[in-house]
Amino acid sequence: MTITTPDWVQDAVFYQIFPDRFARSGRAGGSGLNLEPWDAPPTHHGFKGGDLFGVADRLDYLQDLGVTALYLNPIFASAANHRYHTYDYHHVDPLLGGDAALRELLDRAHARGMRVVPDGVFNHTGRGFWQFHHTLENGAASPYLDWFHFDPDRLRDRRQFAAYPDPGSEQALANGAGSLRALGYQAWWDLPALPKLDTRTPAVREFLWDVARRWIEFGCDGWRLDVPQEIDDDGFWREFRRRVKDADPDAYIVGEIWDEAGRWLRGDQFDAVMNYPVAQACLGFFGGDRLDLAETRRAGGYRDLQPLDAAGFAARIDAELGRYDPRVTRSQFNLLGSHDTPRFVTSVGGDRSALRLATLFLFAYPGAPCIYYGDESGLAGGHDPYCRGAFPWDESAWDHDLRAHVRRCAALRRDHPALRRGAYQRLYAQDGVYGFARRLGGETLLVVLNAATTARTIDLPLPAGVRPDAVLADVLDGGAPTVAVAGVATGLRLAPRSGVVLGVSV
């Protein structure tokens, strides 16, 4: 099968937004709301009142940063601040401003050439979802009986479901009984608030495919798919792709899969996945012995996280570059952290030099880089809920040097097509230093990163096809040029915990 991915993605710079925590507009949800103070520590259940009007009002900020695409955590009606507990897939949550707020955000973003990709939660719903509620009320008599996985014994005996578990049901869950027995229905990871849909049921499949197409036709630019591997059905995802791509051939479909995902990336299901393996490699190399392993391993996919030396990092990156078709690799969703992980700067013990190095690497690596909201200003936070703190709009709280670095990285990627579309070649990996080349047409860029705590002076071999006496210009910071001798950039000096990008014409 021919693999095709949306051409715009490899040029994109994404910005992930947790809508309740990014920006309040004062235009959503009505007055007198019981909201947490914006600057108070986040909690599992509290709401801070960020909304989509607020996102639209901050597009100047995002565009100035270099952002060209938004990934929004779930926006549809839900009784949770993270909105993975959907109760109405056909309407945007009123606390986020409803459908009108999404319409305004899409129109204002598209006018700037920015894309908007929402989160799609299709494996499970919230307890307030109509079809689930209907079955709780009516048991085996409900027309929606086969939309979920129910315990037939409870249905037959008309025993009460434990959607809000009593102590006995909670104890049964704790003892490993499983949600089907303990609650009377199957719940995602046995969490009572998340009843799992039965996607074998034709009506469920049609419902979800219709939702997917509906919001693409509304103007969304793709879907980020929550836990899609738990709908273990290639036929479901093939039809999902067909419906979405019929509505917009340029729509981006990216799955949340934390490890090897080749099954879904053959051209008939997803365009890409969230590239957590590269994020983990960046934590291991740039974080090194600064890693807070106890905190970071709380993210499920990071349980085997370890510090990496340059050779270990190179091996991980080589493996990822060879894992998928190059068209998929150039469309991967590359990130350093998300709402499901401790923030990068917290994971590395507060060392912002690690975040600067990792950011430069990510913006020079194949695929679309993503900034997790607030990382550019130095926002810290451990595992959920602390990685979901409110954006600090008081500029006195920002790390302005870090934000300027992120802007430079985005501008560098924008101005040099080789960083977005060029071939990748590893050049150097030893003594805490990793270097690689990106090449496209007549442009070659050399990216060299020193993760060591001391200065390094290296002899960097030039890739074939570059003049052996080439002059290498510092295109990141405007430093003094380097002159190669006999195909080697001899005596290239790198300050501790620093990176350089050198440009050369073939």
Q: Which of 113, 125, 74 is nearest to 95 (CA)?
A: 74
217 is a catalytic site residue:
no
Which pair of tokens denotes residue 135? 């079955």
DSSP 159: P
Residue type for position 144: Y
DSSP β-ladder status, 488-494 and 498-505: unpaired
Contact predicate 171/151, CB 8 Å: no
Which residue among the candidates 119, 221, 256, 399 is catalytic per the annotation?
A: 256
Find the distance separating the first CA and the last CA of the chain, reported in whole Å: 35
Contact predicate 197/204, CB 8 Å: yes
As a whole number of angstroms, the distance between CA 329 and CA 322 comes to: 9
256 is a catalytic site residue:
yes
Half-sphere exposure of 184 (CA within 13 A, CB side): 22
As a whole number of angstroms, the distance between CA 315 and CA 404 comes to: 31
Which residue among the candidates 36, 104, 221, 226 is catalytic per the annotation?
A: 226
Instruction: Please spell the DSSP secondary structure of 33-65, one letter per residue.
Output: -----TTSPP-SS------HHHHHHTHHHHHHH
Radius of gyration of the chain (CA): 24
DSSP 29: S
DSSP β-ladder status, 488-494 and 14-17: unpaired
Which pair of tokens denotes residue 241? 């792709």
As a whole number of angstroms, the distance between CA 365 and CA 419 comes to: 7
Length of the chain: 506
Q: Which of 19, 240, 231, 260 is nearest to 118 (CA)?
A: 19
Please give the backbone phi and psi of residue 185, each rounded to the nearest 5 degrees, phi first. Answer: -155, 155
Residues labelled catalytic: 226, 256
